[in-house]
């Protein structure tokens, strides 16, 4: 995600069918989702068939799914929008959503599921027989998601409908078990593993859909449009629907790049930022793996938000901030979408690299008028200001990056510790180790954790094996011992 906050340093001024073969028999070695969903007013009614492939060494007696949409229900313990944004996010006053599980079936038989977790955020599905390593199990879930009138990842806005997290998604696996995410209002409280998706949406025909997938087929009947998309090895599937969307498209290598927009006099300008970002990051980090990349302008309470092959860009951003946010969110395709990490526990891993990628973007495209030097100076100034404010308010500053979302006292602290500080750290590492070692470390990190989940230790070992002597260097930053 990228914040709107002005305190940030940088605001100084294949044929488809051949690719996707959905096997309900559980023969494949990848988890697969097949989802059909209909958007009607503020409701998404859907059915998903999930074939869970157990690629761990453990047997599972139950499956667990995150129900992120339930964070928007009335009386949720953890409101999904932080207090400072609540008034503007709920633009029509109080509004609630949620997700209802209508049925769960396994082998054609109803399963007695339960809604559990800390905040009714988990769907627990007991299995008749354990699913052992290298085995699969097929579950079919019928659900109904209600969309609140809220400017958020999931919700109805003035111009668009944001359709992230509209379906139950398997919890990511960590330490051999399902990791239950809680919807913290600061940061991106998500962690999931890669799976293959085939998603069919039906919605009023006037709507245009921007999604994580490549379109397979489209038809219109009785005033309704039905479109089917696929994407393989994705951590989730998201979409934005709008009656107002125009779209401009281009290509970077084998990737089709789209910019979906409204109220934009020069959409080519922002399409170009997305294309330039993809071109540069392909070169610096490794090749982007998906057939499509789309940037969609939409109502969003922060600057932008990343999803597999899809980026939300807030329509309330000032024009001067668009390129910076598009570069940041596009970099998340490498750092978060392809190289995954538990964003609840190690937010700095993907946010820090996405933020430093913005420096690389401006450094390589001087026509935008920023230099590496001025950007880093601005970051240092912002960070020092944060330390000084914290010292005055609390008598100390905790700069440790090794902490979870629950341990940040404010969005201001989170942004400085997980975005600004690692940006300074990576530049220092690059200066010390040299460009060759630095970029070889990043390429190695991308290759090593391609479609897998990384940890801080994994990142460090990639830089070590690229030839950088970094263990002490990282420890100082990770545990808040470095004084800048």
Q: CA 248, CA 117: separation in Å to the nearest integer?
A: 42
Number of residues that bind Zn ion (CB under 5 A): 4
Which of 147, 184, 199 lies closest to 37, judged by CA? Answer: 199
| Contact (Cβ atoms closer than 8 angstroms) between residue 234 and residue 337 | yes
State the CB neighbour count (10 A cutoff) for residue 263: 9
| Contact (Cβ atoms closer than 8 angstroms) between residue 401 and residue 417 | yes
Q: What is the contact mask toward Zn ion in residues 353 to 392, using x (rule: CB under 5 A)?
A: -x--------------------------------------
Distance of closest approach, residue 188 Cβ to Zn ion, in angstroms = 7
Cβ-based nearer residue to Zn ion, 232 or 379: 379
Polymer length in residues for the chain = 484
Cβ-based nearer residue to Zn ion, 47 or 329: 329
Using DSSP, state whether 397 is helix, strand or coil: coil
Which helix (H) or strand (E) segment holds residue 210: the answer is: strand 208-211
**Which residues, in sequence order, are bridge partners of residue 293?**
257
Distance of closest approach, residue 79 Cβ to Zn ion, in angstroms = 21
| Contact (Cβ atoms closer than 8 angstroms) between residue 456 and residue 349 | yes
Distance of closest approach, residue 347 Cβ to Zn ion, in angstroms = 9
Cβ-based nearer residue to Zn ion, 232 or 298: 298
Q: What is the contact mask toward Zn ion in residues 173 to 212, using x (rule: CB under 5 A)?
A: ----------------------------------------
Q: Which two tokens stand for residue 430?
A: 């690059």
Cβ-based nearer residue to Zn ion, 229 or 270: 270
Cβ-based nearer residue to Zn ion, 1 or 360: 1
| Contact (Cβ atoms closer than 8 angstroms) between residue 262 and residue 245 | yes
Block residue for tokens 């492939």: 53
Which of 79, 247, 98 lies closest to 168, judged by CA? Answer: 98
Distance of closest approach, residue 187 Cβ to Zn ion, in angstroms = 9
Tell me: does residue 1 bind Zn ion (CB under 5 A): yes
Distance of closest approach, residue 5 Cβ to Zn ion, in angstroms = 12
State the CB neighbour count (10 A cutoff) for residue 204: 13
Which residue stretch of 1-9, 109-117, 167-175, 290-298 sits at the interface with Zn ion (rule: CB under 5 A)? 1-9
For residue 148, the 8-state DSSP code is P
**Strand intervals (E) in 373-443:** none
Cβ-based nearer residue to Zn ion, 48 or 306: 306
Query: Which parts of 333-352 interact with Zn ion (CB under 5 A)?
Result: 351
Distance of closest approach, residue 108 Cβ to Zn ion, in angstroms = 42
Distance of closest approach, residue 186 Cβ to Zn ion, in angstroms = 13
Cβ-based nearer residue to Zn ion, 404 or 467: 404
Query: Which parts of 57-96 interact with Zn ion (CB under 5 A)?
Result: none
Site residues, Zn ion (CB under 5 A): 1-2, 351, 354
């Amino acid at each position: 995600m990228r914040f709107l906050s002005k305190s940030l340093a940088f605001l100084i001024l294949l044929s488809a069918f051949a690719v996707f073969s959905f096997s309900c028999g559980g023969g494949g070695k990848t988890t697969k989702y097949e989802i059909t969903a209909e958007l009607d007013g503020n409701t998404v009614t859907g059915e998903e068939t999930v074939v869970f492939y157990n690629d761990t060494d453990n047997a599972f007696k139950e499956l667990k799914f995150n129900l992120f949409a339930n964070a928007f229900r009335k009386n949720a313990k953890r409101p999904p929008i932080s207090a400072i944004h609540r008034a503007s996010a709920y633009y029509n006053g109080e509004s609630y959503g949620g997700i209802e599980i209508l049925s769960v079936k396994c082998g054609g038989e109803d399963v007695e599921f339960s809604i559990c977790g800390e905040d009714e955020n988990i769907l627990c599905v007991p299995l008749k027989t354990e699913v052992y390593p290298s085995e699969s199990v097929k579950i079919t879930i019928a659900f109904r998601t209600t969309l609140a009138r809220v400017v958020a990842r999931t919700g109805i806005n003035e111009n668009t409908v944001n359709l992230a997290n509209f379906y139950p998604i398997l919890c990511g696996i960590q330490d051999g078990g399902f990791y239950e995410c809680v919807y913290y209002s600061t940061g991106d409280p998500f962690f999931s593993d890669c799976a293959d998706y085939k998603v069919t949406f039906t919605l009023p025909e006037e709507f245009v859909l921007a999604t994580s997938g490549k379109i397979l087929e489209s038809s219109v009947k009785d005033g309704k449009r039905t479109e089917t998309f696929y994407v393989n090895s994705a951590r989730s599937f998201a979409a934005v629907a709008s009656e107002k969307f125009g779209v401009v498209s281009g290509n970077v290598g084998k990737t089709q790049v789209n910019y979906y927009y409204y109220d934009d006099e020069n959409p080519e300008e922002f399409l170009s930022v997305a294309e330039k970002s993809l071109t540069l990051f392909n070169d610096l980090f490794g090749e982007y793996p998906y057939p499509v990349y789309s940037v969609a302008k939409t109502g969003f309470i922060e600057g932008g938000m990343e999803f597999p092959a899809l980026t939300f860009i807030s329509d309330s951003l000032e024009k001067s901030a668009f390129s910076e946010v598009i570069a940041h969110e596009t970099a998340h395709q490498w750092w978060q979408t392809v190289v995954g990490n538990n964003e609840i526990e190690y937010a700095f891993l993907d946010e820090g690299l996405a933020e430093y990628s913005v420096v690389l973007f401006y450094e390589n495209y001087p026509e935008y008028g920023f230099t590496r030097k001025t950007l880093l100076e601005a970051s240092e100034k912002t960070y020092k200001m944060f330390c000084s404010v914290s010292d005055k308010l609390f008598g100390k500053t905790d700069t440790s990056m090794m902490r979870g979302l629950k341990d940040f006292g404010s969005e201001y602290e989170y942004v400085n510790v997980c975005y600004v500080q690692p940006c300074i750290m990576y530049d220092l590492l690059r200066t010390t180790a040299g460009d060759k070692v630095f970029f070889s470390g990043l390429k190695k990190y991308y290759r090593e954790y391609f479609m897998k989940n990384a940890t801080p230790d994994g990142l460090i070992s990639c830089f070590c094996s690229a030839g950088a002597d970094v263990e002490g260097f990282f420890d100082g930053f990770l545990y808040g011992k470095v004084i800048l």
